[in-house]
Chains A and B, each alone.
Chain A
Amino acid sequence: MSTQFAIEEELKQSINNAFRSAKVTIKRQGRINVEFRSGILPAFVSYLKEYLDFKHLVMMSCVDWLEDNEFEIVYHLWSYDHKVHIMVKVRLDREKPVMQSISKLWDQAETYEREIHEMNGVEFEGHPGMRDFILEDWEDLPPMRRDFKTREFVDKTYEWRTGREDKQDVRETIAKQYDTEVPDFKNSK
Chain B
Amino acid sequence: MMNIKGALVPFSALKFLGKKPHTVRYPLEKKDTAQRYRGFHFNDLEECIGCGTCSTICQNEAIDMIQLDGVEAAKGDSGLRPRVDNGRCCWCGLCVDMCPTGSLSLTDQYLHTSPDPDSYLLIPGKDNPEMKENISFVKSDSEPLLQFDRVPMRELDGAERVKSFAEVVLGYMQEEARAEATRCVDCGLCVTACPDHMHIPEYIGAIADADDETALKYIYDNNPLPEMCGKVCTRQCETVCAIGHLGEPIAIRWLKRFATEQFPDPAAILNPVIAESNGKKVGIIGGGPAGLSAGYYLALRGFDITIYEALPKMGGMTYAGIPKYRFPEDSLDKQIGYMEKVGVKMVNNTRVGKDISFDKIRKENDAVFVGIGFHIPYTLGLTGEDLENSIQAVDFLRDVNLGKSVDIGKKVVVIGGGNVAIDAARVSRRLGAEVTILYRRRVQDMPADWEEIEGAEDEGVHIVPQGIPLEVIGNNGKVKSIKYGMAEMVADDKGGRPRPVLIEGDEHILEVDTVIGAIGQEADYSFLPKEVMDELKIERGRMVVNELKQTSIPDIFAGGDSVNRTADAISAIADGVKAVEGITHYLLDE
Contacts and interface: CB of A to CB of B under 8 A. Distances in A.
Contacts of B222: 180
Given A178-B197, A185-B218, A189-B214, A161 B85 contact: yes
Given A162-B118, A164-B121, A185-B217, A170 B59 contact: no
Contact of B221 (A162, A183, A186): A183
Interface bracket on B:
35 or more
B78 A174 contact: yes
A154 B59 contact: yes
Contacts of A164: 64, 83, 85, 121
Contact of A154 (B52, B61, B66): B61
B121 A161 contact: yes
A162 B218 CA distance: 37
Contact of B50 (A151, A170, A178, A183): A170
Contacts of A171: 186-188, 201
A177 B192 contact: yes
B214 A186 contact: yes
Contact of B52 (A150, A170, A180): A170
A151 B64 CA distance: 14
Given A151-B61, A171-B201, A174-B192, A183 B79 contact: no
A1 interface: no
A157 B64 CA distance: 18
A173 B85 CA distance: 21
Interface residues of A, number: 26
Contacts of A174: 73, 78, 188-189, 191-192
Contact of A169 (B65, B73, B79, B117): B65
Contacts of B186: 171
Contacts of A175: 188, 191, 197
A182 interface: yes
A123 B567 CA distance: 68
A91 to B, nearest CB: 26
B79 A173 contact: yes
A61 to B, nearest CB: 18
B199 interface: yes
B67 A166 contact: yes
Given A169-B65, A170-B187, 6 more contacts: A150-B60, A155-B61, A161-B117, A163-B121, A185-B206, A189-B214
B80 interface: yes
19 contacts: A154-B59, A155-B61, A161-B85, A161-B120, A163-B121, A164-B83, A167-B83, A168-B65, A168-B80, A169-B65, A170-B51, A170-B78, A170-B188, A171-B188, A173-B73, A174-B192, A177-B73, A180-B191, A180-B222
